[in-house]
Structure 1
Amino acid sequence: MSTHVSSPVTPLPRIGPYALPNRAILAPMAGVTDRPFRQLCRELGAGLVVSEMVTADARLWHTRKSRQRLDHAGEPGPRDVQIAGGDPEMLAEAARLNVAQGAEIVDINMGCPAKKVCNKAAGSALLRDERLVAAILESVVAAVDVPVTLKIRTGWCSESRNGIRVAQLAEAAGIQALAVHGRTREQRYRGDAEYDTIAAIKQAVSLPVFANGDIDSAEKAARVLDYTKADAVMIGRGAQGNPWIFREIEHYLRTGDTLARPTPAEIAAVMHRHLEALHTFYGEHMGVRIARKHVGWYLATRPQAAALRARFNVLEQPSAQHRFVDALAYDAPALASNGSNAA
């Protein structure tokens, strides 16, 4: 990929009637992009946030996990909900039900590589059956009056990289935007994402294309946009423990300057807000436990990360988790070695 970067001169992308404020989008991630994380990323500059994947089988929506995934209370629009399944009629009904509950954009998952999803002929497994892909897209688009978008991989495997063909089917069916992860399903998250296929897809269709995969900095976002000519970047793992990436990308694309990284005090303030939102959304018992993976991501790049995670993961009370964050801001080495007074 070329190292030359030019500032994007194309208009900001639109999804149907919705004009995005910038080119940095939070990718849907199961177990990650819950309402607290979506709201945090939006506050820190994400131009669009997409919900966790919701099963198309409405019979399963009575579970606590599904109810929380369907909860968009208080979120600003456009509210973008991702659905997953392999049956056109079931996906169409799921789209209708989600719109009735407030979804303003419906995204179809054809990118998830997880075995439990692919074994049910959903997610990226659908890429093996282009006739079924077309039937699903046409059915969902016809079912709702809101924009329908699609997330795919470049294909099922290196011998079946049919992303261009699927993109053309999507455009013909009336899909309003397409996100492409630069790996095949077979690769899962191994190796490096490639952007040649994304560039070729952008050349082949006229709908907005969002480039996804291994984008972990503002400079990388700019290079990928320049190389692929995509309309926006979609950030997944690069946002875990690093929600500031969205404002950094927006600032770099707009000015060409690198935004200063957050100070320890700013990091602590964001972590406190995130913890408070998790404790409130999930309740004290579950919130404390779900906070462990999120705080683990915040700690991942720090010296002695494993020791810090071990200290945090034994904390059982919201107040103890908040004290840990305070201690982290002023003396992380001491916290890692002896726990300070955080516990």
Structure 2
Amino acid sequence: MVLSFCDKVILAPMVRVGTLPMRLLALDYGADIVYCEELVDIKMLQCKRIVNDVLQTVDYIAPTERVIFQTCEREKDRVVFQMGTADPERALAVAKLIENDVAAIDINMGCPKEYSTKGGMGAALLSSPEKIEKVEETVNLVKIIERTGVAAIAVHGRKKAERQQHPVHCDFIKAVSEAVSVPVIANGGSQELIREFQDIEAFRSVTAASSVMVARAAMWNPSIFRREGSLPQEDVMRNYIRYAVMYNNHYTNTKYCLCQMIRDQLESPLGRKLHATQSTLDICEVFEMTSFYESCQLSQERKKVSLNVSIQETQITDNDNEENHDTVQMPVKFERKDYLPQVTPKMFLLEWCRKEKFPQPVYYTVQRSLDKFFRSVVTVNEKKYCSTLWDKSKKLAEQAAAIVCLRTLGLPEGKVGEEESDLIRKRKRGIQDESVDMTDSQGVEQIKKRLHSNENFDDSNI
């Protein structure tokens, strides 16, 4: 454990609670230090560190594209990274990976849950169950830990076999506090001792600890850190939802945290509505925050567009040294609703190339590692065209490139309201000629075969 904060109130949300929105909310209400949830070393070592310019966060993203750990500048000097590990080399590698984004690193040596102990983590690091059966042996163990050079030690005042419903052993924590010189953080008082802010100091005093770590009591109501007193439950929930929306927190985690706050009222009308939600938007509707959700989504989309325009991506061809000043560029996106249903810009461009006896258009597409978006360059008559904006799919990026080419050449692109072109008339005749009874399976198969045999076929038109 590397922790150098003394005489501080510490929040340590456990299980799935220590995500960024909850940590920021706790800081709002007066917590000095916040913990992330326990994250396993192997999972962290698979992550890639990404600076998210849209959300203004640092995201550690797994190969599955899931955000495993997220932090921001506001909590950089106040967030403790809690690590589950059974291997010193892996633990060191994770520490080096995240050291510039967190204030401290905590090695979890106390979790008795099976998922930790099976992997040799948590309480398994204590080497044997007997170690915590007697206070004397616990004190000896802590002295050994102190000699490793740790800056602080957090003590959860229960035995390995005990759970939340068992009384916390304040005398055990006090014995450890008096036996070592490093700061001791007292933990485990949520269930029976900590109900309001003043109880935090009382728990610290009775355990003779340097500071207090609060988990479940803070999860139930983060405003417990307010010296002036806790806020009404629904006010706290709405404040939490704001952060959850602002930082794109996964709705399942948001829902879980809200259910923990409302825990004894899950059968109330509000609780039932919350239980039925299936998305962040649903949650916002329950709390009459739809307009806030929509404004955040709009703001984020605008940031994405702005970043797409400003990010300098000089590499868009196979040749690393090729300059793109010969590529015609403009900020264009293909919006399906703006175009006629029978045709697409790619089809217009292909038809024009055939008419002019040019080779058919050639599309080259790259994917950006930052957000997995795409941008495409189309080559027509030895000239290149592309949009400066990035799209969420390869097909959309190709359509955008085709639009740039068509607009540069002054050609129709199939937008709603354009004068009807030969291609549109041809497509309409083709649809009329190929009309079949759609209840006839043979007729449907004929249409499929014709579509897929057409080199001009683009399944984005279906």
TM-score, scaled to structure 1: 0.70
Q: Is residue 2:138 matched to residue 1:163?
A: yes
Q: Is the 8 A contact 2:109 2:122 kept in 1?
A: yes
C-alpha displacement at 1:74, in angstroms? 2.9
CA distance in 2, matches of 1:213, 1:65: 35
Give the unaligned 5+ runs of structure 2: 48-60, 290-462
Q: Is the 8 A contact 2:17 2:253 kept in 1?
A: no
Instruction: Trace 1:237-252 onto structure 2 (pairs within 5 A).
Output: 237-247=216-226, 251=227
* Per-residue deviation, residues 278-337 of structure 1 (Å, max 9, x unmatched): 234346xx32x32221111221244x645542221212343442342359xxxxxxxxxx
Q: Is the 8 A contact 2:157 2:172 kept in 1?
A: yes
Q: Is residue 2:265 matched to residue 1:293?
A: no
Q: 1:155 to 1:275 in 2, by over 3 A?
A: farther
- The residue number in structure 1 matching 2:17 is 32
- The residue number in structure 1 matching 2:105 is 106
Q: 1:317 to 1:83 in 2, by over 3 A?
A: closer
Secondary structure in 2 matching 1:93: helix
TM-score, scaled to structure 2: 0.53
Q: Is residue 2:245 matched to residue 1:279?
A: yes
C-alpha displacement at 1:78, in angstroms? 3.1
Q: 1:241 to 1:116 in 2, by over 3 A?
A: same
Q: Is residue 2:172 matched to residue 1:197?
A: yes
Q: What amino acid sits opposite 2:155 in the alignment?
A: V
CA distance in 1, matches of 2:64, 2:184: 30
Q: Is residue 2:87 matched to residue 1:87?
A: yes
- The residue number in structure 1 matching 2:207 is 228
CA distance in 2, matches of 1:86, 1:66: 25
Q: 1:310 aligns with which of 246, 257, 272?
A: 272
C-alpha displacement at 1:60, in angstroms? 4.1
Q: What amino acid sits opposite 2:104 in the alignment?
A: I
CA distance in 2, matches of 1:66, 1:207: 40
Q: Is the 8 A contact 2:14 2:215 kept in 1?
A: yes
- The residue number in structure 2 matching 1:262 is 231
Q: What amino acid sits opposite 2:12 in the alignment?
A: A
Secondary structure in 2 matching 1:187: coil
Q: What amino acid sits opposite 2:237 in the alignment?
A: M
Q: What amino acid sits opposite 1:313 in the alignment?
A: H
Q: Is the 8 A contact 1:127 1:155 kept in 2?
A: no
Secondary structure in 1 matching 2:126: helix
Q: 1:159 to 1:75 in 2, by over 3 A?
A: same
C-alpha displacement at 1:66, in angstroms? 9.4
C-alpha displacement at 1:161, in angstroms? 7.2
CA distance in 2, matches of 1:96, 1:38: 23
Q: What amino acid sits opposite 1:239 in the alignment?
A: A
CA distance in 2, matches of 1:44, 1:53: 23
Q: 1:24 to 1:200 in 2, by over 3 A?
A: same
Secondary structure in 1 matching 2:108: strand
CA distance in 2, matches of 1:66, 1:165: 44
Q: How high is the sequence identity, in percent, across the aligned residues? A: 24
Q: How many residue pairs get matched? A: 269
Q: 2:155 aligns with which of 171, 180, 187?
A: 180
Q: Is residue 2:210 matched to residue 1:211?
A: no
* Per-residue deviation, residues 43-99 of structure 1 (Å, max 9, x unmatched): 111010011112122444353799634321233313321111111122122211121
C-alpha displacement at 1:212, in angstroms? 0.4
C-alpha displacement at 1:36, in angstroms? 0.9
CA distance in 1, matches of 2:267, 2:130: 36
* Per-residue deviation, residues 130-186 of structure 1 (Å, max 9, x unmatched): xxxxxxxxxxxxxxxxxxxxxxxx976536873312221222111001111000121
* Per-residue deviation, residues 109-136 of structure 1 (Å, max 9, x unmatched): 101111011011110111125xxxxxxx
The structure with the largest alpha-carbon Rg is 2
Q: Is the 8 A contact 1:28 1:50 kept in 2?
A: yes
Instruction: Tell which deviates more after alignment, 308-317 or 164-173.
Output: 308-317
Q: Is the 8 A contact 1:79 1:103 kept in 2?
A: yes
Q: What amino acid sits opposite 2:110 in the alignment?
A: G
Q: 1:171 to 1:324 in 2, by over 3 A?
A: same
Instruction: Trace 1:63-78 onto structure 2 (pairs within 5 A).
Output: 63=62, 68-76=67-75, 77-78=77-78
Secondary structure in 2 matching 1:316: coil
CA distance in 2, matches of 1:210, 1:161: 19
Q: What amino acid sits opposite 1:240 in the alignment?
A: M
Q: Is the 8 A contact 1:82 1:109 kept in 2?
A: yes
- The residue number in structure 1 matching 2:348 is none
- The residue number in structure 2 matching 1:256 is none
Q: 1:71 to 1:260 in 2, by over 3 A?
A: closer
Secondary structure in 2 matching 1:71: strand
Secondary structure in 1 matching 2:36: strand
Q: 1:245 to 1:123 in 2, by over 3 A?
A: same
Secondary structure in 2 matching 1:121: coil
- The residue number in structure 2 matching 1:132 is none
Q: Is residue 2:17 matched to residue 1:48?
A: no
CA distance in 2, matches of 1:172, 1:240: 33
Q: What amino acid sits opposite 2:231 in the alignment?
A: P
Q: 1:155 to 1:212 in 2, by over 3 A?
A: farther
Q: 1:198 to 1:159 in 2, by over 3 A?
A: closer
Q: What amino acid sits opposite 1:92 in the alignment?
A: L
Deviating beyond 4 angstroms after TM superposition, the runs of 4 or more aligned structure 1 residues are 64-67, 154-157, 304-307
Q: Is the 8 A contact 2:79 2:102 kept in 1?
A: yes
Q: 1:173 to 1:15 in 2, by over 3 A?
A: same
Secondary structure in 2 matching 1:107: strand
